[in-house]
Amino acid sequence: MATKTIRYTTTLPLDHVNELRELAKEKKIPSVNYAINVALDMYIKEQKAAEYKTQMENASQDKAFLSRTLISDLA
């Protein structure tokens, strides 16, 4: 199943775009658009991982959560 896409206009640093264009020209990446999508995917995954880590750190300090977890592990 194909991912739905939209056209979205943004402003990027010229140096970054030029470097991506050079990489695409050298066939090191398929396209500038591809590299931007990969970077966005990586950024979103990093943010979600950081949020999950924070939630787990908070949960590790929550006595009620720890008690429920221990009880469910013993069941």
Q: Which two tokens stand for residue 74?
A: 């013993």
Q: Which two tokens stand for residue 6?
A: 């939209």
Q: Domain ranges in the chain?
A: 14-74
Residue 75 has what pLDDT?
Answer: 65
Q: What is the mean pLDDT of the chain?
A: 92
Q: Is 74 exposed, middle or buried (0-12, 13-18, 19+ CB in 10 A)?
A: exposed
pLDDT digits (tens, 9 = 90+) for 5-16: 999 999 999 999
Does residue 1 have a pLDDT over 80?
no
Q: How would DSSP label each residue in 19-58? A: HHHHHHHTTSSS-HHHHHHHHHHHHHHHHHHHHHHHHHHH
Tell whether pTM > 0.95: no
CA–CA gap between residue 25 and residue 60 (Å, rounded): 49
pLDDT digits (tens, 9 = 90+) for 24-35: 999 999 999 999
